[in-house]
């Protein structure tokens, strides 16, 4: 797992550690020392810890004018044992939301499992962004992760599933990707009405 690094293709345009509004502002990285682990496996030093023992992330891009953030995750999303959604919500989402970020793209290509619990933090996240026509979209979740999330009815608060899977997002510019996701979300919502 130490070979899986966060997507680097947008780093010419954005670096969270250089963004004074980012929760990771001023963070330094040692490319030669592995310190973070998911269970017994070391992960690449570019991943950021935000309090969880099994889930790490990287803010890949934030556009404050268009009010969106792109975040990549790696590990096991475990709300049952570690309350990972609380850490994600409090340590990343809430801090970005203070700067009027209300559209969140979360890349889950490297989220290996999901273990659910209550949906309170997901509902809170939705309540925080819905008045600004915000949304949360999980991109490229594994089928078993999608299935487990559906057991906890997270689709009431966040967008995920087949419409948002198999996306080759790394070949897109962030703004274009957000436009595609927003059109898909809006079309899906109209069909439900």
Please, are residues 69 and 175 in contact by the beta-carbon 8 Å criterion?
no
CA separation for the pair 39, 133 (Å, rounded)? 38
14-47: b (≥16 Cβ within 10 Å) or e: bbbeebeebbbeeeeeeeeeeebebeeeebbbbb
pLDDT per residue of the chain (193 residues) written in tens, 0 to 9: 678 999 999 999 999 999 999 999 999 988 778 888 888 889 999 999 999 999 999 999 999 999 999 999 999 999 999 999 999 999 999 999 999 999 999 999 999 999 999 999 999 999 999 999 999 999 999 999 999 999 999 999 999 999 999 999 999 999 999 999 999 999 987 776 5
Cα 34 from Cα 45, distance rounded (Å): 6
CA atoms within 13 A on the CB side of 183: 5
pLDDT at 72: 98
Amino acid 65: pLDDT: 98
Tokens 């995750």 -> residue: 73
In order of their start, the domains of the chain are 16-192 (3.30.750.24)
Note the pLDDT of residue 30: 82
Task: Give CA–CA dist 157/127, Å, rounded.
Answer: 9
Alpha carbons within 13 angstroms on the beta-carbon side of residue 36 total: 25
Tell me the CA end-to-end span of the chain in Å, nearest whole number: 43
């Amino acid at each position: 797992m130490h070979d899986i690094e966060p997507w680097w293709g947008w780093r010419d345009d954005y670096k969270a550690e250089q963004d004074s509004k980012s929760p990771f502002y001023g963070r330094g990285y040692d490319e030669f020392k592995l310190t973070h682990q998911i269970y017994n496996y070391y992960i690449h030093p570019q991943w950021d810890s935000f309090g969880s023992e099994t889930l790490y992330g990287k803010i890949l891009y934030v556009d404050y004018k268009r009010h969106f953030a792109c975040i990549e995750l790696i590990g096991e999303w475990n709300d049952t044992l570690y309350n990972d959604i609380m850490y994600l919500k409090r340590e990343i989402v809430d801090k970005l939301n203070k700067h009027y970020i209300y559209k969140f793209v979360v890349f889950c290509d490297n989220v290996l499992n999901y273990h659910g619990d209550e949906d309170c933090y997901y509902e809170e996240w939705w309540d925080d962004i819905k008045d600004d026509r915000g949304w949360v979209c999980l991109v490229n979740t594994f089928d078993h992760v999608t299935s487990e999330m559906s057991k906890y009815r997270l689709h009431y608060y966040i967008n995920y599933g087949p419409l948002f899977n198999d996306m080759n997002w790394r070949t897109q510019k962030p703004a274009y990707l957000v436009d595609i996701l927003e059109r898909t979300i809006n079309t899906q919502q109209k069909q439900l009405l």
